[in-house]
Amino acid sequence: MKRALIAGLACALAACVARDPNPLIAATDAQFAKAIGNLPFLGCEGPLFGIDEGSGAAARRAACEQGLQKRAADAGIQQAVSSSDIGDPRVRARYNQLIKR
């Protein structure tokens, strides 16, 4: 009986833990990798992380954001990913860690 009560309380507490409002930070490692791991291959690393400021950069960034939003949904990230979510410095740091920079 005590074990069941403790397990129930643990589950209730886990459900109450605040998740990060940025869905890319709150995502599991597998979801994050599926959503964002192929940016260099797609040519989106520069536009999304502000490295590419050349002509047509705004249009390229918009296309890359839309693609990332679709891949995030396909990866099982429930919350919509916004431009500000993508621009969060923690996302770039997590991405750099994923590709081991």
Q: What's the predicted TM-score (pTM) here?
A: 0.76
Between residues 3 and 14, the one the model is more confident about: 3
Give the angle subtended at the CA of 47 by the CAs of 91 and 82, to the nearest 5°. Answer: 50
Place of tokens 């959503």: 35
Average confidence score pLDDT of the chain: 85
What pLDDT digit, counting tens, does each position of 68-82 carry?
999 999 999 999 999
Q: Give yes or no for residue 32 having a pLDDT over 80.
A: yes
Question: What percent of the chain clears pLDDT 70, i.e. is strictly above it?
Answer: 80
The mean pLDDT value for 33-37 works out to 94
What ranges do the domains of the chain cover?
Answer: 20-98
